[in-house]
Structure 1
Amino acid sequence: MAIDHPDRLAGIPTTPFLAADIGGTHARVALMRAAHGESHGAETLAYRKFVCADYPNLSELLRAFIDAEQAPVKHCVLACAGQPMGDEVANDNLAWPIRLSELRQVLALEDVAVLNDFEALGYALDGGLARGGRHLCGPGTHGHGPSLVIGPGTGLGAAARIPGPNGGLVVTTEAGQMDFAPNSIREREILAHLAPNGGYVEFERIVSGPGLLTTYEALCALCGESPKHTTPEAVTAAASACSDARAAEAVEIFCASLGSLAGNLALAFMATGGVYLAGGFLSSMFELLAHSAFEERFLHGRSAHALLSQVPVWVTEHGRHGVLGAARWYLRRNASGNAMASERVA
């Protein structure tokens, strides 16, 4: 987590501010302000969804929102795929580089705060993100304890929410960058095809939208066939229609590998509060996921099975929750800063 100029945030709760969820494909932007009578709650004044590739940079995208809504603002919070590193956001899946100093200068912003996009979703878990969605496996009730939000899209993101005072703590991760671990002979063959000389293959190279297409193309190559599909959506559609054996196998490997990753993270964080699989990509293929080896791979084996069988897993739409989570984080950070300032004055 990083925030730019936290000493200048006083007064923001009563002032509208921009909150944006910037992914590799889409950007969701809202004009927000603090909600009355709700601790760290945020009220949406305007909301729009953009295709990132339609704009040459983030400044132009945000300018389009500001102009369309006629909403001059001085403060902004960004939930971005990747991690804030000084003045930039480090990520290979964003449509363009993001530099905070450039945003401040071009848009005449006084402050720009940044957090990871799945960290923002973690702050939305105590709201509508956790209450919606469809049950995938495990107990049919929402659990207690640490919870996880995981989402394969253009990349693969994950964050953990640890319950506690004042909304608890959200821990961001770069789980998508972990080494992919094959579980079957077929997965080993795919790994060898992707890295014939050995070396690092990240999980999101398999478990993401582009990863599904990569797996499909690898299976076609291993079988000496030419790929028929050029997008993840086409692969999913062919698998649903049972019209392409390689597409069906690619989806099965995707779902099974997602189960392994989710189970590993659930064990690492003891996620008895539940696992929430976020994003429209998974929602669109829910039936395929429900009839896959996801649950078998999620449960692992031996003693891990007893713990993981008590972890509920839900598939939920990402939607506006990233924007709302970012706004909640922003207001919470501001309130904490004001509290510390008051203590210093006292």
Structure 2
Amino acid sequence: MSKQEFALVGDIGGTNARFALVEPGSTNLQHIEVLPCADYDNLDGAVLDYLERCQVTDVSEASIAFACPVHNDIVKMTNNHWVFSKKEVQSKLGLTSFKCINDFTAMALGVPHIAADQLIQVGGLEAEDDRVMSARARLVIGPGTGLGVSGLVKTRANWVPLSTEGGHVSFAPTTDLEISVLKVLMERFDRVSVERILCGDGLVNLYQSLAQVTSRESKYHKPSEITDAALKGEDELAEQTLAMFCKIFGQVAGDAALTIGALGGVYVCGGIIPRFTDFFKSSGFREAFENKGRMRGYLESIPVFVVMEAYTGLLGAAEALANSEV
């Protein structure tokens, strides 16, 4: 295969590197592979191994998303050992174009390309036709390793991602129990942002804080243990924790939707919520999302979608290739 036939797209997290090939101007992902980051010294080694696996000699364009800051030439992964210079990698791989974008920017850019059967709607009005919806701002938000928050708006030519640090806004409790949890968390952190609760480690923070507030034993120390115990009905504290997690997420998502005017819908990404969609749909998320006093009517109309697509970041990286706004 010649390098004119394909461009390389990637989505690099702390554990895995996801790669695919796309034809110029397309977001149709081909030859998807997921490689463990621990198996490679750095990005260029992983890319070269992937291309060899695909029997592609080289590529001239690449767009890769990273779960870390990417605004400087030196990129240092937050949760794995990779550190590299963008200029050096571009030179080593012989790329004429190399776009490095943040992973949640890619997540946002991928949203317009998700198939309808990969979206689970949680409340709100039925989505209108694409032309109407695409003219309105969208909110892309999701708990995972952290809490990612991005906006998405459509110009005449391109989708434009609004990169934000919305996961670091202050936690605003709305009940006596949430106030008690906040007080416990304030003993550990100088400032309590919503990301201290709405992410994997945040779920553990919430579980331990609730245990302290209600004088109960804290049995679990991993997010997966808490989630599993809650879904199996094996631990009342775990169930209460997961329910409160969903409710607080609803409060935060509703605030963010108001802030950017997300009448085009809210898209829930990340690695946590898709693991328990039935629990999520029956939780207090939607009521908390809409419970904004005088603005309830505004929020009631906004559809929320849980994104089940496993490769949204790769779709976004593909979108970024020809997107002049990125």
Same fold at TM > 0.5: yes
1:157 counterpart = 2:148? yes
Distance 1:260 1:44, change over 3 A: same
Q: How much is the aligned-residue C-alpha RMSD, in angstroms?
A: 2.8
Consecutive aligned runs of 4 or more in structure 1 exceeding 6 Å deviation: none
Distance 1:155 1:141, change over 3 A: same
In the TM superposition, what are the counterparts of 1:70-109 in structure 2 within 5 Å? Answer: 70-71=55-56, 72-89=58-75, 92-93=78-79, 96-97=82-83, 99-104=85-90, 107-109=93-95
Deviations 1:147-178 (A, max 9, x none): 11112111211221112312342212121222
Partners of 1:129 and 1:321 within 8 A in 2? no
- Show the counterpart of 1:116: 102
SS of equivalent to 2:322: helix
1:20 counterpart = 2:10? yes
Q: Aligned equivalents of 1:237 and 1:96: distance in 2?
A: 32
1:195 counterpart = 2:186? yes
Partners of 2:76 and 2:82 within 8 A in 1? no
- Show the counterpart of 2:224: 233
Q: Structure 1 residue 249: deviation in Å?
A: 1.6
Identity %: 30
Partners of 1:81 and 1:94 within 8 A in 2? no
SS of equivalent to 1:181: coil
Partners of 1:279 and 1:318 within 8 A in 2? no
Partners of 1:25 and 1:95 within 8 A in 2? no
- Show the counterpart of 1:64: 49
Q: Structure 1 residue 113: deviation in Å?
A: 1.0
Q: Structure 1 residue 55: deviation in Å?
A: 4.2
Distance 1:137 1:95, change over 3 A: farther
Q: Give the TM-score of the pair, scaled to structure 1.
A: 0.82
Distance 1:56 1:238, change over 3 A: farther
Partners of 1:32 and 1:45 within 8 A in 2? yes
Partners of 1:24 and 1:154 within 8 A in 2? no
Q: Structure 1 residue 25: deviation in Å?
A: 3.9
1:171 counterpart = 2:156? no
Q: Which moved more, 1:18-27 or 1:156-165?
A: 18-27
Q: Aligned equivalents of 1:108 and 1:258: distance in 2?
A: 44
| Count of matched residue positions in the alignment of Structure 1 and Structure 2 | 319
Partners of 1:149 and 1:277 within 8 A in 2? yes
Q: Which moved more, 1:95-104 or 1:120-129?
A: 95-104
Q: Give the TM-score of the pair, scaled to structure 2.
A: 0.86
Deviations 1:189-214 (A, max 9, x none): 22222221763223222111221122
Q: Structure 1 residue 312: deviation in Å?
A: 0.5
- Show the counterpart of 1:8: none
Distance 1:107 1:210, change over 3 A: farther
Letter in 2 for 1:267: L
Q: Aligned equivalents of 2:161 and 2:275: distance in 1?
A: 27
Q: Aligned equivalents of 1:258 and 1:13: distance in 2?
A: 44
Q: Aligned equivalents of 1:102 and 1:212: distance in 2?
A: 39
Deviations 1:242-293 (A, max 9, x none): 2112211211121111111111111011111100112342121112211211
Q: Which moved more, 1:162-171 or 1:147-156?
A: 162-171
Q: Aligned equivalents of 2:320 and 2:8: distance in 1?
A: 13
- Show the counterpart of 1:48: 33
**Residue ranges of structure 1 left out of the alignment (5+ in a row):** 1-11, 35-39, 338-346
- Show the counterpart of 1:276: 267
Deviations 1:321-345 (A, max 9, x none): 2112211111233xx89xxxxxxxx
1:133 counterpart = 2:119? yes
SS of equivalent to 1:42: coil
Partners of 1:279 and 1:319 within 8 A in 2? no
Letter in 2 for 1:76: A
Q: Which moved more, 1:250-259 or 1:315-324?
A: 315-324
Q: Aligned equivalents of 2:41 and 2:168: distance in 1?
A: 27
Letter in 2 for 1:115: I
Q: Aligned equivalents of 1:297 and 1:206: distance in 2?
A: 16
